[in-house]
Amino acid sequence: MEYTVRDGWLEQARHVHSPNFGPRPPACRPELLVIHNISLPPGEYGNDCIERLFTNCLDWDAHPYFDLIRGHEVSAHLLIRRCGEAVQFVSFGERAWHAGRSRFEGRDNCNDFSIGIELEGTDEEPYADRQYEVLSGVTAALLAAYPSLSAERIVGHSDIAPGRKTDPGEAFDWRRYLTSLTWRGRLA
């Protein structure tokens, strides 16, 4: 499938607007793609908890784990569910709140200049084939829409927040993902 980014939104995604975003600093554009993982509660898939978290509607009392994240106001630009559904929460032109304390090539606050994509999953459980397919297609669309992005600027959350974050984890097949981009003609 071909994916298209228009006015900061992935046309093929379901749009669920998050209040957890802000403007990028002046003259700042997306220069970094950060791959994450998330599941709520951890290891559970297919429910609406991630959407509720990103829209500040999560019932904090619905599961004991939610006490650990109570009150967090976070978002990502895009979520790719295990079934391959893409859900966009924040325009790629805006600053989503996905990276937290972070640093890339000497620059702090990666949220300012990055796009965050969450994969529904955990560090240890293999990701679904459909997630790789969608991630590859979305990445190709982002590389076409934002020339400031490149293969050298695709990282895991663990790369920009070492010691604090571990995602997308050991289960993420970087070779498979980057090879799929080469096959699509998006990498040299």
Q: Are 50 and 42 in contact (CB under 8 A)?
A: no
Token pair in block for residue 83 = 């079934």
Told to judge if 118 belongs to the known catalytic residues of this protein, a careful annotator would answer: yes
List C-alpha distances in Å: 148 to 52, 67, 88, 114, 121. Answer: 31, 39, 21, 10, 28
H or E segment at 142? helix 129-145
Tell me the Cα Rg of the chain.
15
- The catalytic residue among 118, 120, 124, 170 is 118
Residues marked as catalytic: 118
